[in-house]
Amino acid sequence: HSDVRFADGTVIFQAQTTQFRVHKSVLFRHSCHFSRMFSTSSYTRRKVISPPVILLLEAADDWRNVLLILYDGLKYVIRFLSFQVVQAMLLLERKYEFEHFRSLSTKALTADLPIELNLWEKKYLSTNVRE
Over residues 14-70, the pLDDT tens digits come to: 999 999 999 999 999 999 999 999 887 566 566 667 899 999 999 999 999 999 989
Q: Is residue 76's pLDDT more than 70? A: no
Helix (H, G, I), strand (E, B) or coil at 100: coil
Separation between Cα atoms, residue 11 and residue 114, nearest integer Å: 41
> Looking at domain 2-124, does it have CATH number 3.40.50.300?
no
Q: Domain spans of the chain? A: 2-124
Beta-bridged to residue 18, according to DSSP, are 15
Residue 25 phi, psi dihedral angles, 5° rounding: -60, -35
Q: What is the pLDDT of residue 25?
A: 94
